[in-house]
Structures are given as C-alpha cells and as structure tokens.
Amino acid sequence: MPQSVSSLAAAPAGPSLLRRLARRNEIALLLSLLAVIAFFALASDTFLTTRNLTNVLGQAALPLVAGIGVAIVFISGEVDVSIGSLVAAIAIPLITIMNATESFALGVAGALALGLAVGVVNGYLAAYLGINSLIVTLGTLFILRGGVYLYTGQRAIPDDVMLESFFQLGNGRLFGVVPHPAVIAVILLIAFAYFLRHRPFGRQLYAVGGNPEVARLAGYNVRRVKFVAFVISALLATIAGILLASRLGSAVHVAGLGFEFQVVAAVVLGGVSLSGGVGSLAGMALGVLILQFVSNGLGMLNIATEWQLVITGGIIIAAVAFDELKRRRA
Amino acid sequence: MTKLMKTLFAASVALGALAGAAAAENMPKKIGYVVNYATHEWYQNVIKGMKDRAAQLGIELEVKDANLDVAKQVAGAEDFMAQGVDVLIITPVNEEGVVPLLRRAKAENMPLVLEGNPVKGMTTMVAICDYDTGYHAGVAAGQYAKEHLGGVAKVMNVGLPLLSATVLRSNGFMDGIKTEIPEATLVHDLDGGGNPDRALEVSSAALAQNADVNIIYGINDNSSLGGLQAWKAAGKSQDGLLVVGTGGEGLAFINAMETEPSYKIEAAMFPEKVGFTAVDAAVKVFNGEAVPEHIVSPTTPMIGADWKKYYSVEGTTRSINWDAVNGVKPADKCMKTAADLK
Amino acid sequence: MPADPALRPAAEAAAAPALEMRGIGKRFPGVIALEDVDLVLAPGKVHALMGENGAGKSTLIKIMAGVYGKDAGSIRIGGRETELRTPRDALAQGLKVVFQEIALIGEFTVAENIFLEQYPVGRAGSIDWKRIRGEAAALFARIGFDVDPAAKTGDLPISQQQMVEIARALAHEARIVVMDEPTSSLTPSEVALLFAVIRRLTALGIAVVYVSHKLDEVFEIADEVTVLRDGRHISTKPIGAHDHDSLIHDMIGRRIENLFPRSRGHHKGEVVLSVSNLSTDAKLKDVAFEARAGEVLGFFGLMGAGRTELAKAIVGFDPIRTGTIAIGGRPLKPHDTRTGVSLGIGLLSEDRKGEGLMLELPVQQNMSLAALENFSRAGFVEEGRERSAVQSFVDRFRVKTPSLAQPIKNLSGGNQQKVLIARWLMRGLKVIVVDEPTRGIDVGAKSEIFALLDRLAGEGLAVVMMTSEMPELLGLSDRILVMAGGRITAGFERDAATQEKILNAAIG
Amino acid sequence: MSLVSDRSQIVLLGILALLCIAISLAAPQFYTGANVIAILRQCALVLIVATGMTMLLVAAEVDLSVGASLAFTGCVGMDVTNRTGSLVLGTLAALAFAGGVGLFNGLVVTRLKVNSLIATIATMMMLQGGVYLYTREAVQNLHQIRAFTELGAGYVGGLPIPVLIAALIFIAGFVALRFTTFGRYLYAVGANGKAARLSGLRAERLKLVAFLATGLLVGVAGLILASLMNAGQPTAGRGFELTVIAAVILGGTSLSGGRGTLVGTLLGVLVLKVIDNGIIILRWNQDLQMVVPGVVIILATWLDLVRRRRDAR
C-alpha cells in the first residue's frame, strides 16, 4: 500500500505574499479607478454625490453581469461577442410572455430558455464542433440581431401589463439608495468569484484556458468545460438583458447595439487575457467601473461624445500596453 | 438670491429676447437634453436651435448624447437628475424604451419634454408631423410629375423601417403623390439604413432588379442622395428623374439642389426650429402651464430654389432665416401618427 | 553506477502483475501504430520501455493514460480486466502517466498543480486550499524536493517543473507510474534525486514504467526492459540480459558501430565568432569566447547555467546589456537576427515547435525560409530553383516525407530536425549554434544528426553546440566550455576533458 | 504548394455557383448587365480592403478600424481637394491619412505589443470620435472635378472604374502574397513568429507593412466611396470592418495566422455580396441580410474544418 500523504499537514505561509500582492494587476486597476474618481471629484461638483455614485453603479451593473460571463469564456480560452444581440433577443420572450400571462416569473423563464438555447448553440458549435469561437459568436451576433428585426418588424414591443415587480427590478433602489441592478451584480460577482476560486469546476475553467492539453491529461472534459462556459455567458447576458428590459420597460430591437464591444473592452482592460487562463472577476469589475466612471465623469464635465470616444480608445490602448510592458519587465 | 430677484433677473433677460418669447415667466436655470444621436446633422441643428433659444432666455443648456444606445440614454437621464437640472428634454432612441424613465421622472417631479416621438405617460412632445411632411412632399412631387414627367410616378422609396417616424414619412409620401396621380406605384421599398453607403448599395441592387423608376424618395438626405448616387453610378441620365429628399439638415441637400438636375424637392423639417420650440415648451412645463400633448414644429416642401428663403449659406456654414421659418405655420394636429401604424 | 541494492525489494512475491496488457493493437488512418503488443508490469519493479521514435512507445503510453482508446487487446490491472477510456479512468485505476512535455498549468501554484486531477474538497464541495498547501508541502518534504508550494509554476525552471510532475504522481497514490523521458531536462543531481524517488516508489510496491532514450539511465535504474519497433513487440528481458549493443540492436534492428561517427580530421580555421564581455539583464555575466571555423565547440552546463540564453543572445534574438559579438570580424547588431543571419550566424533552437517549425506549412516552406532570398530575383521567388534545392537536401539528408508539400507537423521529430538543419545549410552560415540538437529524437536519428553536425564542421563551419548530454558533449566536441550561473567557468580541449572535470566546473 | 489551390475554395465556388443559379432562376434580373455591374461595384470596395485584411490575417493580426477609417479618409480627401482645388493633393492627403492610421495601428501592435483586436477596436473608437471633431457634417463636393466623380462612377471599356481598381489591387496583392518573398515571409510570420525571427526575418516590420498596406487600401476605398457618395460622409462605413473580415474568413483564411489565400477572399467577397444583392432582387425581407451571412460564415468555417480534419487523416 502506498503511504498516504494526507497524514502530514502543515500549511507553510507563502514567503512572498506582499510581493505577489504588489504584482497583482488588480492593485494597479484599483489605483487607476481611485485616480479616475479623484480626478472627476475635483473637476466636477456634481460628480461626488451619493446619488451620482450609486447611479453609476446601477449603470455599470449591466456590463458587470454580462462581463462575468464574457470573462469566464475568455478564461476558458474562447471568445463570446454574441451578447450584444442576445440582450435584445431575450427581451422578446420576456415581454411577450409577461404581456400574455401577466406573470413575471414565466417571462423570466422564457428569457432564460432562449438564453440557454443560444448558449447551447454557441457552445456546441465552438466547443464540440471546434469552429473558431470568434466566428461562431460573430455569426450568432448577426443572426440574433437579424432575427430580432425580423420577428419584431423593427418595432419595440411595449410592456403592456407593467408589473410593479418588473419595474422595480431595474429601476428600484434597495433602501432607497442602491439600485437593484447593482445589488444583483454584486451578488453575482461574489457568487462567481467564489465559484471560480473555490469550486473544482472553476479551476477547470482556468486549466482548460491555460493549457487545454494539460487539462485533458488531468482528466478534464475540455469540450464540456468550454461548452458550459458559453452557456454561463449566455445566461448571464440574459440576466443583463432582463435588467435592461426593465430599465427600458419594453423589448427594444436596437437594445445592446455595440454592447459586446463595450464589455470586451472592459474585460480586457480588467486584465482578463484573450488567450485564456488568466484574469479575475475583480479585475474585470474594476475594468468595467473605470470605463463607466470615465463615461459618467466626462458627461458631467459636458465633454462631447466624440471626445469621449477618443479618450476611451486612448485609455484602452494605454492600459493594455502598460500591462504588456509590465509583464515583459517582470 | 431671493425668489423675487430671480424673477426680476429672468424677466430682464426675457425682455431682451425675441418677440413671441415666453415673457416674464420663471426661467429654469438649467435644462438637460438627452439626445439620441448628437453627431447626426439633424440633431446638431436641433441642438443649435436649442442653444440659440436658451441663450436668448438666459438658460444653461447641457447635452448628453446616447449615441444610439438605449442603455446609455437611460444613464444620461439618470445623470441629469443626479446633477439636478430643472427640466429634461429627451429625444428617445426608441420611444418604448423610455417609458420607465418617464415614470421615474414623474416620481421625482422632474418636468420633462419629449422631442420627436410620443411616449406613453408623457406630458408633452415637440415634434414635426412626419406623415404630413411626407404627404406634402408627395403632393408636390405629384404636381411636378404631372408637369414634367408626363404624369407617370414610379417610386423607389429609400426607407428606414427601423423607426416609426421614417415609416410615416414614406407612407405619407405615397399617399400624397396619389392625390395627384392615383396610379402612382411603389416599385421598390428599401431599407437603406438611413446612412449613405448602405442606401447607395441597396439602391444599386434595386435599380438593377427593376430600373423602371422615375422618382426616388429618401426618408432623409443621406437616403435620397444615396439613391441618386446609385442612379448615377448605374450610368443613367437624370432626364426624366425626380429626387425628393427629406430633412434639409445640412449642406448636402443644398449642394445637390444646386448641382443635380433631378434633385428638385426637399421636405424641409427645420431642425433648428424644433430645438427652439422644445426650449419654449420646457419653460412652459417648468412653470406648470398647460401645454398641448403634441406641439407641432412646422415643415414644408421646398421646391427648386425655395431653400434660399429659409437658409443662407456662407462658405461651409449655413444659417437659418428665423423670420421666414417662424412664418411657416405648423399644423394643429398631425394627419397620422405612430399610433396609426399599429 | 550500480543501484543501491538496499533499496531494491528483497524478495519478489509472486503477486499478480500490476498491469497486464495483451495483444494491444491501435491503428490510425493509413498507419498501424501498434500491433499485438504485450506489456506486463510486476509490482515494485522498474520496467524500461524502449524503442525509436515511431516505434509505438508514445501510443502505448497514451493508451495507458486513457488518452487513446485501443483497437484490440485486453488490459488487466491488478488482475482485473478493465477499460481505460478517458484519463480519468486511468487515474481511478491508480495509473498515472508523467508525460515528457510538462503537463502543468503555468498560471497555477505548484500546490494546486499537484492536485489538479482531484481537488480535495471540504464542506459543501468547496476546494480545501489549506489541505492542498499542507499536503503539497508535506509531500515535497518527504521526497526531499525543495520548492515553495505557493510559487507560481510558470516561474519555476523546467527541471523543477518536471520534479513537480513526478511529485504529482505520488500525491495520487498511484500503483503504476509511467514516466516518459523524465530526465530530458534534469540536472545530474536532480536525476539522482529522481532515481532515489523511483526506488522509494518501488519499495512501496509501485510498478514504474520508465521510458528513455538514455541507455546509461536504463541500465542504472531498470529491472526489465521491453523493446518496441515499428509498432511491434520485439523483446522483453531482464536488464541483466542486455548490454549496450544488444539493446540498441533490438531497438533499431541493426548495430550502430559508433554513435558518434567523428571524422578525426577537423581542420581548424580562423576565428569566425568572437564574443567578449557579454552580459544580459537576465542571466549572462561577462561571457567571452571564440569559435573557429571547422570546430565543434561544445557548451555544457546544468539547467539554468545560461546555455540557451547565451545561444539566443549571440544570434541576436535576445537583447544584451553589454558586450560585443563579431562574426568573421564584423560586429553583430545586438537584438537583430537579420544582421546576424546576413553575417552568417544562425540558431537551431531547443524548442522545435515553439521556435523552429511552422507546423501547418509544408516541408518546402519550412526548409527554404532562411534562404528564400537566394532563390529570389527582384523580390520574386523562383519556385523551380527553390524546389530543386529543397529536393536535393531532402535526398541528401534522407528526410522521410511523402512530398515537399506535406505539412511538417506530420513528420517525425528526427525528420523535422533535419529540415531545420537544412534550413540553415541552404542559407550558408559561418557559425551554426545548435541548442540541445537531439532533444526528443530517437537513437537512430540521433546518430544521423551527429554525423550531419560533424560533417558541417568538416566543411568549415563553426558549430557551437549547447548540450546537457554528457555523451553528446564528449563524443562530438573539439573543445568544451562549461557554464555555471551565467558565466564560463572552465574550458577544455577535447582530449583533456573528463566527465569529472566538466561536472566539477558545471557545479561551479 | 497549396497556397493557391486550396480545396476549400472548391466548396466556396460551389456555393457561389449554386447561389447564382438559384437566384437567377427565381429572378432573371439577377443576370442583367446592370445588376452584375452593381454587384461588382459593391464587391470592389470590400475586395480592395479585404486584400489588405487577408495579408494581416495571414500574418496573424487583424484590423477592426477599417470601417471608421474609411469614413474619415473620405472626409479628408474631399476636404483637401476642396481647399486646394487639386485632386492629386486630395488623393495624397487621403492616402497619407489612411496610411497613417494603418501605421499607427501597426506601431501600437508591434511596439506596444497590444493585441491587435483590442488595439484596433480602440482605434476605431478614436476615429469615430475624431471624424466628428474634424467635420460636423458631410464634406460636400465643392470642387466638381470631373476625374473625381469618374473615380467612383466612371467606366473604362464597359467596366466600372472601381472594379478595375479593385482588380489591379487584387492582382498586385495576389502576386505579392503568392510569388514574392514578402508574401512568403508573411505566412512564416503568421505561422510561427519566433521561428521567422530566428531565420532573420523582421517579423515586426513585416506586420507593420501589412498594417500600412491595409491602411493605404482603406484610403483607396475611402476615395472611391467619397466619389460614389459625391461627399465625404462621416457616418459611412459602419459595420464595414465586419463585412470585410467576414469575407476574408469565409474565404478560408485562418484567424490564427499562416493560412489563407486571396483567391479565397475574392470568392468570399463574391458570395457575401451576391447574397446581399439576391435578397433585394428576390424582394425578401432585408433583415435577412444580417441572418444569412451569419449562417453562411459559420457553415463555411465548419465545412472547412471538417474537410481539413479529413485531410489530416
């Protein structure tokens, strides 16, 4: 009988905890976020108010929720850009079912069913058939948007029953302060951060993205792990879509146009690598918040859209280049 | 500043304003305008009109651009409410998508004016009548066709099904033209995306499929110009062709009317006037005055060199002739609205 | 070196075989990879599995690991018939394969990698991180392996990563451990550590399959040896029944009279490469040496001594901090491979896949890459000339490929290496730097590569060879430089060099 | 040598033939000279830029900023021609601008080592904002130079000038990619950048050249578009980058570099544009113009994958 190794246990403290902490990408991001907030707080007198800060959290909730899914797909070594059309598509069953049944729960179930179906299709095509996931999800991005236009005849579908619960979901505030979407986003962030760090499946996602061959040898079902990542991403985009639909009070066919770029940019800014296996939800969340606060702050300063675009583009290049330089020096 | 002084101050500013301005009312200090697409020429001119009017009245006007993103529009309105503006003006990216926003504004007693499209639960809206605009242009096109095109009207509509406003324009145009030429036909009904390159592309394909067209209608200037360029690119002569544009928001249509023999009718929608009217409406709503649900901003077809009445061009800047534009009488009520589409 | 008999199990109980594979067959489209192969492992024994590349070793190992399914035959583990359909099946049966290529996630900590296959979970299915760290530390302590379990795996040198791999097998309480070329990047002291670990395993009754090309190691550690050739079982004998020659004979079906067919008549020419005062940020400290036309200059060093770093610096691939490199008297612009190549220095990288091959592209494109300018006029490639040049090299080097249009990924390691050497010969170099030129290449092809390098030196090239293989170093070099800690610590003429002297210098 | 005759192109050729036959049967107008010319003209713009994009993808990079750059370039070209009254100066300015954008992208990717997908999304944003800083509205044709109009709408020997330009660029690109050392090096850099560098290739510079070439080709396309529109349109080019990339990928070029041909790209462009045109000719709902290409790209990529897997055995 081989000797059991579990009899010996003594947890050694990592000797270089501080050094490892300093190397963490998240610290740099947090400092950047604080710098952004400090800058706008000085430049605008309406920026640093509870009302505005909580507003931004509520606005950031959508990219945060969808960003969790996109980050998970990135971590597994794939890409998902279909979410922009998906947030618009799932609102159709959501609103139509609510209009027909006056049931919030049934509407949500319908939305989740569509989201699940899209995730399954993306996952099957990319993970099981092995088609490049950028192509697959670019394809579903087109197909879903076209499908939404075809189905709705390019008209928004209004929410005719106006359920209070549905309205409150996206528009209400917890204790009158924190917007509900922000609360939901934080809960999901914590849950998925736990999932990625402390559940074996979460680690499998990293392993599969970091080195699929190794993951396969370790007995992981690489395809299944990636498949699940796509499903998770689609379901989270569905939740983001439900929140958006509540804020819009309808299924709007043009909702989410360009949302995928916004989320992908934030996720990459947050240090989640396009090549898989690297990144954290904390980084992703900081990336989303930085871009959201910049957008809000520039708006507060009355900066025109064109400058906002130029500045945001510049930030993305600078941040990713900085990250790369840091990595090369390390 | 006491309330009295505020009133006095506002009054003194208003005194210096144009005749017809809301005189001696309480002026809002700050108006926030969430525009759906600020980089578009149409809205640039709306904003220009708003800024002119707000400056006259001594009001601060701030603009946030949704840049065609419904989520960003809601965020922009939220930000304005957090900033504490006195009145909100909104041009919805999508009219259904701002219903909850209106509800929240109402809950916070935030006066709100819509521009463009009606929304469930609104107080008032400033808008042109899209159907009427198309209709009157259609009537003018019909008359032109009787005189110059032998009474034949085969129309290619370079449309945009995405928006109810643009659908109404197309419908109005066809209805209008039929009052003059009952046998007018719609040969092609296209989605030109409202942008010039897409309009050019789909028009090229459509003209190749069936070139038996003698009138090109565009729901905006990009669409009509895209259609015309497709015609030219197909190597066709402009003899016997009529191009009708809508909007009249920039220099493009003026350039076309000056240089293209077929570009004869432009349905002017005076975006500056829309902005002007919206600010006036905002002041009224701020003061709790009764306002009609739909405040109509005038439109009119401009035929041939008519545009010179309303606009003057110097170099690359265009300026509006307020006297002439303020003289165009708006309809009291639209012939058809988005509600009629359903 | 004889094994320490104390660590060998004293008596061999007539227990059931730990693993019994009978009549194993595996075919891929168009190829029979294995046919009727038997392998029987006794508990507590080290069983060497040998054969040239393409003999079927990797296929057999992958069947054991559950990576490939078998087409024919039966597998019994501990006497029970079983099927190994997935890697998980194999692990569940107590069969752990340590592959040659590092199978660790670089971004994870060492401790986490140890438990990659089976995370210990606590309440509610959460990973028990404390236990992972504790058990990893305990495991390392037990096998005398000094590494921080909390270190990021990717930051460790390859040799330590390999040790982590082996430690991982222990953590799984495996009854059968398969090691595929485990020493290919280990230093001698690490090899000794590994062997101690293997002996400890066998003492516990674990069966070990040891796959290696290194005959010396096999003779040192193995109890039995099975030889495969062309997908067939050739022989299984106790190690004592073999000598070097008989083992090689079994492997390649003929005798290689001399693995190092050195033509003794190298004529040393003038200095073509001179390096002075070379330092880099990362590793190298004040390195200076010269290489002459017509000589093989061997660099030896333990893992981390700086051989690869030196190779990459002198061809202009990596930036340097100080120093000069001159080829034929003309200075090389640092960190610029283009001037390097045009001055006549090129590198055959140790990392064939990562830095040598364009896997998806045909043999022709791979071979002519560096010499394309020779076949071009005004920027246009003259394909006829290119093709005939490539064809002549393919013939001369006996590269086994169905056609020049074959994607190079379909060739064996030895043939790939020949193509890469030809890439440089086509270009025409003064100095060729070869880094671990025979890594992952089987015995038969090895001797061909050696003969090639020797011939190059004979033709007047300076061959600078970086190697960690002592026989290769001694067999091929005219002159030997030893590195340690980024410096050159000793130099020997070939006749003055002995294994002991070199090792002493390498330990620094 | 499989650089030209990739068998995936036979599949594409089949799809194209099938589409053409099916559409012509349903709507005979499809085969009229006018429609063929309309399709070719639409293909021309895409093909010009796709030629550069194919080079980029072969070198394992991508440029998403081409749509935004297309619009900006048209404005610059028109504006400078207006100001100077010289078509030559306008053309040079447009090419310099678009080439500059390409160079900027190339430098960000090769020097700052930013992933090109991200870098060019950022450039796209900056150009979309920048064009409105440059001009608030469409830049009108104030110079009325005839040659400028001819560029987009003129004919030579019965063929539209943009089609001729595209054909010349395609042939030049084809020759460069297929027969020159430059082309072969691009494949090498895309297939294995480190191996290419070790072989004495300047991998970064080659990529830079591919970015620059793509930029310049966007300049050419931007001028043609401005001529066709008779104005520099800041709103033009939305989604153009996706059409171009879709066509290149449809043509069998790999996103991971080292594999692809311009013949495939040509077929990809034709298939996409025939679908686009066919939907209008057949008077189908134009919303299908988004759905069908989405399906076709996934399908074609999958077929290619299946075929390559079969070949590998």
**Nearest Cα residue to B225 out of D230, D227, D136:** D230
Q: What is the mean pLDDT of residues D171-187?
A: 94
User: How far apart are alpha carbons C367 and C424 in whole angstroms?
Assistant: 8
Residues of D (201-230) whose Cβ lies below 8 Å from C: 201-202
In chain B, % of residues over pLDDT 70: 92
Q: ∠ at Cα D108 (D107, D111), nearest 5°?
A: 65
Beta-carbon separation of B69 and A62 below 8 A: no
Among the listed ranges B299-303, C264-268, C284-288, which one has the minimum average pLDDT value?
C264-268
Q: Is the pLDDT of residue A14 over 70?
A: no
Beta-carbon separation of D180 and C381 below 8 A: yes
CB pairs under 8 A between A and C: 109
Torsion angle defined by CA atoms of residues C12, C18, C23 and C26, in that order, rounded to the nearest 10 degrees: -140
Q: What is the mean pLDDT of residues C357-374?
A: 90
Q: Is the pLDDT of residue B277 over 60?
A: yes
**Residues on chain B bordering chain D, Cβ-to-Cβ distance under 8 angstroms:** 39-41, 44, 190-191, 195-197, 200-202, 204-211, 222, 225-226, 229-230, 232-235, 250-252, 255, 259, 316
For chain D, the first-to-last Cα distance in angstroms comes to 19
- CATH code, D155: 1.10.3470
Task: Bin C143: left if φ > 0, else alpha if -120 < ψ < 50, else beta.
Answer: alpha
Q: Grade residue C29 by pLDDT with cuts at 50, 70 and 90.
A: low
Q: What is the mean pLDDT of residues B270-284?
A: 92
Q: Where are the beta strands (DSSP E) in C239-293?
A: 271-279, 287-292
Is C265 a domain residue?
no
Chains B and A touch (3+ CB pairs under 8 A): yes
**Nearest Cα residue to D149 out of B228, B209, B214, B249:** B228
Among the listed ranges A35-39, B145-149, C228-232, D174-178, which one has the minimum average pLDDT value?
C228-232
The phi, psi pair for B266, rounded to 5°, reads -135, 125
- The answer to whether the complex's ipTM is over 0.90 is no
DSSP at D273 = H
Q: Grade residue A328 by pLDDT with cuts at 50, 70 and 90.
A: low
Tokens of C445: 């092809």
What's the structural domain count of chain C?
A: 2
The answer to whether C340 faces chain D, any CB pair under 8 Å, is yes
Chain B residues near residue D157 by CB distance under 8 angstroms? none
Chain A partners (3+ C-beta pairs within 8 A) = B, C, D
Is D3 a domain residue?
no
The phi, psi pair for A81, rounded to 5°, reads -110, 10
Is C258 a domain residue?
no
- Same domain flag for C154 and C285: no
User: How far apart are alpha carbons B194 and B200 in whole angstroms?
Assistant: 10
Chains C and A touch (3+ CB pairs under 8 A): yes
Average pLDDT value over all residues in chain C: 84
Q: Grade residue A91 by pLDDT with cuts at 50, 70 and 90.
A: very high
**Mutation choice for B interface testing from D36, D133, D235 by most B CBs within 10 A:** D235
Is C78 a domain residue?
yes
Q: Give the CATH H-level superfamily of domain B3-128+271-297.
A: Response regulator (3.40.50.2300)
The answer to whether D155 faces chain B, any CB pair under 8 Å, is yes
Q: Is the pLDDT of residue B70 over 60?
A: yes
Model confidence, pTM: 0.84
Tokens of D34: 């006018």
Is D2 a domain residue?
no
In chain C, % of residues over pLDDT 90: 19
Q: ∠ at Cα C395 (C389, C400), nearest 5°?
A: 120
User: How far apart are alpha carbons B216 and B269 in whole angstroms?
Assistant: 19
Tokens of C127: 């990973």
Domain ranges (residues) in chain A: 47-329
The phi, psi pair for B195, rounded to 5°, reads -115, 155
Q: A100-116: per-residue pLDDT in tens?
A: 998 999 999 999 999 99
Chains B and D touch (3+ CB pairs under 8 A): yes
Beta-carbon separation of D138 and B196 below 8 A: yes
Say whether domain A47-329 belongs to CATH 1.10.3470.
yes
User: How far apart are alpha carbons C158 and A234 in whole angstroms?
Assistant: 39
- Same domain flag for C214 and C298: no
CA distance C298 to chain D (A): 21
Q: What is the pLDDT of residue D226?
A: 92
Beta-carbon separation of A305 and B38 below 8 A: yes
Task: Tell how strand C224-229 and strand B300-303 pair up.
Answer: unpaired
Q: Is D310 helix (H, G, I), strand (E, B) or coil?
A: helix
Q: At what angle do helices D203-229 and B221-233 cross, to 10 degrees?
A: 90
Q: Which residue of A has its CA nearest to C94?
A: A2
Q: What is the mean pLDDT of residues D86-114?
A: 94
Residues of C (388-407) whose Cβ lies below 8 Å from D: 405
Pair B115, B138: CB distance under 8 Å: no
- Tally: H helices and E strands in chain B: 12, 14
- Residue among B195, B210, B233 whose CB faces D235 most closely: B195
Determine the structural domain holding residue C305 and report its residue range. 271-507
Determine the structural domain holding residue D109 and report its residue range. 8-312
User: How far apart are alpha carbons B17 and B57 in whole angstroms?
Assistant: 6
**Residues on chain A bordering chain D, Cβ-to-Cβ distance under 8 angstroms:** 125, 129-132, 134-136, 138-143, 145-147, 149-150, 154, 261, 264-265, 268, 274, 304-310, 312-314, 316-317, 320-321, 324-325, 328
CA distance B290 to chain A (A): 27
Q: Grade residue A61 by pLDDT with cuts at 50, 70 and 90.
A: very high
Distance of CA C344 to the CA centre of its chain: 27
The answer to whether C374 faces chain D, any CB pair under 8 Å, is no
Q: Grade residue B20 by pLDDT with cuts at 50, 70 and 90.
A: very low
Beta-carbon separation of D230 and B225 below 8 A: yes
Q: What is the pLDDT of residue A51?
A: 85
Q: D264-284: per-residue pLDDT in tens?
A: 999 999 999 999 888 888 888
Q: C92-106: per-residue pLDDT in tens?
A: 888 888 887 778 888
Among the listed ranges A144-158, B173-187, C24-38, D240-254, which one has the minimum average pLDDT value?
C24-38
Q: What is the mean pLDDT of residues C297-323?
A: 87
User: How far apart are alpha carbons C206 and B252 in whole angstroms?
Assistant: 85
Helix ranges (DSSP H) in chain B? 3-15, 41-57, 70-83, 99-107, 130-148, 164-180, 196-209, 221-233, 252-259, 271-286, 307-310, 322-327
Q: What is the pLDDT of residue D30?
A: 85
B3-128+271-297 against B130-268+335-341: fold identical: yes
Chains C and D touch (3+ CB pairs under 8 A): yes
Tokens of A253: 């066919």
- Same domain flag for C247 and C305: no
- Same domain flag for C369 and C397: yes
In chain A, % of residues over pLDDT 90: 48
* Most confident stretch, A23-32, C217-226, D290-299: C217-226
What's the structural domain count of chain D?
A: 1
Q: What is the pLDDT of residue A73?
A: 96
Q: What is the mean pLDDT of residues C441-470?
A: 84
Q: Is the pLDDT of residue D98 over 80?
A: yes
User: How far apart are alpha carbons B195 and B224 in whole angstroms?
Assistant: 10
Q: Is A11 helix (H, G, I), strand (E, B) or coil?
A: coil
Tokens of D12: 């594409």
CATH number of B130-268+335-341: 3.40.50.2300
CA distance A52 to chain B (A): 6
**Nearest Cα residue to B134 out of B215, B197, B203:** B215
Q: What is the mean pLDDT of residues A90-105?
A: 92
Q: What is the pLDDT of residue A209?
A: 92
- Same domain flag for C223 and C195: yes
Is C394 a domain residue?
yes
DSSP at C152 = B
Q: What is the pLDDT of residue C9?
A: 42
